[in-house]
Chains A and B, each alone.
Chain A
Amino acid sequence: MAGLPEWLRPGARPTGRPLGAAVGDRVVRRALGAIGRALALLVVETEPSRGGPLRDADPRAKMLAAVGLIVVATLLREPASLAACLALPLATAVAAHVPARRLVPVAIVAIASAAFMLPATLNVVSGGHPVLTLWRPAPGNLGPWRLPAAVAVTGSGIVVAGRMVLRATACAALAVLLTTATPPQELFAGLRSFGVPQAFVMVLSMTERYLAVLLQSARELHLARLARSVAAIGVRREEAWAAAGVGAVFRRTRVLADDVALAMASRGFCGEVRLLRPARWRVGDWIVVAASAAAGAALLALDRGLA
């Protein structure tokens, strides 16, 4: 029994703060949640049924349509036209029977943008006519800054913040619709048609493939950490554990890279990159591109008309 630590001896009770309340425990659980979500997303990516009718369109057509509309969204200025731009991918998602959980990232972008843009609604950032006074500070200075007579929400600020939230959400909805309706391997193969170097596309598709393996390693590390914890440890030891985890994943990365390189060599890889050949361009694909171009032109015309 001499070599056993105190906490491992029969009848010993863990000292220190209970685990459930510890910051490190919350952080590990949060990381586990994030890894689980990323893994789930990678697995869902391979479901052939998602994306509905959009699933059948050529990845190049979908990419052209989505990226074109994202660029259009960055050119729009009026909140009404931006709202129409947001409605377009949401309506398409509903029509294509995209599961609601797939649109969660869009909601996250909307909420994060709204929080980030809150200060922009105030007269101290955007200026303009006050519509709601929040605070009248006593005259004076805050460090090098002179305090304003009043802190108020302004009409201009609401327009500026609303425009940003709508634009960021519309872009996120278009990107999510593209990734939902197109498996990553098809998406990456489609990139080749837009001049992305072959080596980059191949490495990109390998990255996506092995990401799940490394994520699984990271999940096992976090689970092992959680399973072996009996009490909270200090922040410095938590940091040391995280760094050791990163190091362990790097070691796994190197071992896996060696294995993959040997496997590629044994299968005859001699530097020539071969990718999935994209399918033939069909009439339906032209319709997707033409419809998105028409929608983009209509949005720009609406925007200029409203200006």
Chain B
Amino acid sequence: MHIPDGYLGPQTYLPAWGVMAPVWSWASARLKRTLRARHLPMTALAAAFTFVVMMFNVPLPGGTSGHAVGSVLVAVLLGPWAAVVAVSLALAVQALVFGDGGVTALAANCLTMAVLMPFSGWWTYRLLAGASAAASRRRRAAAAVGGYVGVNVAALAAAVLLGIQPLIARDAYGRPLYCPFGLSVAVPAMAAAHLLVVGFVEAAVTALALAWLTRTETALPDVRQQPSGGRPLRRLGIAVTVLALASPLGMVLAARFGGGTAWGEWSAAELSRLAGYLPAGFQRLASIWRAPLPGYGPGSAEAASSAGRAVWYAVSAVAGATLVGGTVLALRRIVTRRERRGRSA
């Protein structure tokens, strides 16, 4: 999954650095806050641990072998932000000391293996583990599924990064300048290898290592009890509100530069106009559900001025974000209650 230098064009690796810079900055701020504690050597050693985990080859049926990445295991044991720092540092050491993985592609590799993998794996683990006991089978199964999901999410992201190269960079003769395999090749190739083989290695190592540690280690760190540092929900709320209010910009810019509907998001009328006919199945399914705010506004909004439509667009964004956020918070409340009940039982 380590993308070497030269496979990604600057159109991809520069935005990856742009995405990772605030993530590292945030992680660095968290690291600084805990510098006085034993966190510093633990983070350094967690990075070294991640590196060493990749050295443990696991035999697979059929005579082959594979190795785990260990991001989800570190996330389960030390928390996802510790995993971001530890895996980023391990990848940096691999690139700078061992020449494994690219220097320009370092941010892209960190995005897939140090951010997407630990967070997706950790969230899956938390969702499935619930309030179960540390040594329970459910906790081990949750870790296994977390490892499987995490490594597959990371592989899919790496495949997309590689697969979009032929779409965005070609020479004068139309030949791809960077990775020549498009999405139709890169995604199935990576997905097959990770869904069928590597995912199971990651799942086995994550679950079995957690089981071994819960059996032998009496004082495992409980990441659920770590302080969150500040008020992340409030900050997230502010960020989402700002983004929601800025959302009409996309509509205004699309109208200014003559952009049409996004590819594949056509309404029945648009598809009928573009294709010359409306497939029967599409026609049947299109009328199953009547949205309360069709086209991000009431039915009359289509006829309104562009300012009126922009207001409705922002209102829809705030309403949608509130609905999603409210659902997540309600779920969180249910999970927390169950956890409390589980602890008191």
User: Are A199 and B28 interface neighbours, CB within 8 A?
Assistant: yes
Expressed in whole angstroms, the Cα–Cα distance for A235 and B217 within the complex equals: 25
Known: A105-B99, A126-B180, A211-B93. A197 touches B28 (CB 8 A): yes
B48 and A243 contact, CB distance less than 8 A: no
Number of residues from B at the complex interface, CB < 8 A: 79
CB distance from B241 to the nearest CB of A (A): 29
In Å, the complex CA distance between A31 and B58 comes to 10
Q: Which of A8-16, A167-175, A285-293 contacts B (4 or more CB under 8 A)?
A: A167-175
A161 CB to closest chain B CB, in angstroms? 7
Q: Is the CB of B175 closer than 8 A to any CB of chain A? A: yes
Instruction: Say whether B310 faces chain A, with CB atoms less than 8 Å apart.
Output: no
Determine the residue in chain A with the shortest Cβ distance to B32. A199
The answer, among B9, B59, B73, for a CB contact under 8 Å with A23, is: B59
Within 8 Å of chain A (Cβ to Cβ): is B65? Answer: yes
Whether B48 pairs with A254 at a CB distance below 8 angstroms is no
Q: Does B63 contact A (CB under 8 A)?
A: yes
On whether the beta carbons of A41 and B57 are closer than 8 Å, the reply is no
Q: A71 with B209: in contact, given A239-B59, A261-B42 (CB under 8 Å)? A: no
Interface residues of A in 236-276 (CB under 8 A from B): 238-240, 242-251, 253-254, 256-258, 260-261, 264, 270-271, 273
Q: Are A73 and B53 in contact, CB atoms less than 8 angstroms apart? A: no
Contact of A210 among B4, B44, B171 (CB under 8 A): B44
- Would you call A218 an interface residue if the criterion is a C-beta within 8 Å of the partner chain's C-beta atoms? yes
A27 x B175 contact (CB < 8 A): no
Please tell me which stretch of B84-92, B280-288, B290-298, B337-345 contacts chain A, meaning at least 4 of its Cβ atoms lie within 8 angstroms of it: B84-92
In the complex, A302 has a CB within 8 A of chain B: no
Asked whether A7 is an interface residue with its Cβ less than 8 Å from the other chain, the reply is: no
B205 x A246 contact (CB < 8 A): yes
In the bound complex, do residue A168 and residue B5 qualify as a contact, i.e. CB atoms below 8 Å apart? yes
- Shortest beta-carbon distance from A33 to chain B in Å: 10
Of the 9-residue stretches B33-41, B108-116, B229-237, which lies at the interface with chain A? B33-41
Give complex CA distance A164, B180 in Å.
Answer: 9
Determine if A176 and B99 form an interchain contact, defined as CB atoms under 8 angstroms apart. yes
Q: Could you tell me if B212 and A207 are in contact, using CB atoms closer than 8 angstroms? A: no
Q: Verify if B124 is at the interface (C-beta below 8 Å from A).
A: no
Quick check: is A206 within 8 A (CB to CB) of the other chain?
yes
Contact across chains for B7 and A164 when beta carbons are under 8 A apart: yes
Contact (Cβ within 8 A) A218 B56: yes
Is B255 an interface residue when CB atoms closer than 8 A count as contact? Answer: no
Beta-carbon nearest neighbor of B92 in chain A: A204
Whether B104 contacts A171 by the Cβ 8 Å rule is: yes
Using CB atoms, name the residue of chain B closest to A25. Answer: B59
The docked-state distance in angstroms from the alpha carbon of A203 to that of B96 is: 14
Establish whether residues A253 and B49, one from each chain, have CB atoms under 8 Å apart when the complex forms.
yes
Q: Contacts A31-B56, A203-B47, A206-B40 given: A246-B209 contact, CB under 8 Å?
A: yes
| B210 neighbours in A (Cβ, 8 Å) | 247
Q: Does B97 lie at the interface of the complex (its beta carbon under 8 Å from any beta carbon of A)?
A: yes
Bound: A247/B56 CA distance, A: 11
Q: Select B175's contact among A160, A235, A270, beta carbons within 8 Å.
A: A160
19 A-B Cβ contacts within 8 A?
Answer: A23-B59, A75-B10, A105-B100, A117-B180, A125-B180, A164-B6, A171-B4, A179-B97, A197-B25, A203-B43, A210-B48, A211-B52, A243-B207, A247-B209, A251-B213, A256-B45, A261-B37, A264-B40, A264-B41
Known: A77-B177, A160-B180, A187-B97. 14 other contacts (CB 8 A): A27-B58, A45-B97, A171-B4, A199-B40, A204-B44, A206-B45, A214-B52, A218-B55, A242-B208, A243-B211, A251-B216, A253-B48, A261-B41, A271-B35
Q: List the 7 shortest-distance A-B pairs measured between CB atoms, nearest first.
A: A243-B208, A171-B5, A206-B44, A167-B6, A247-B212, A261-B38, A260-B41
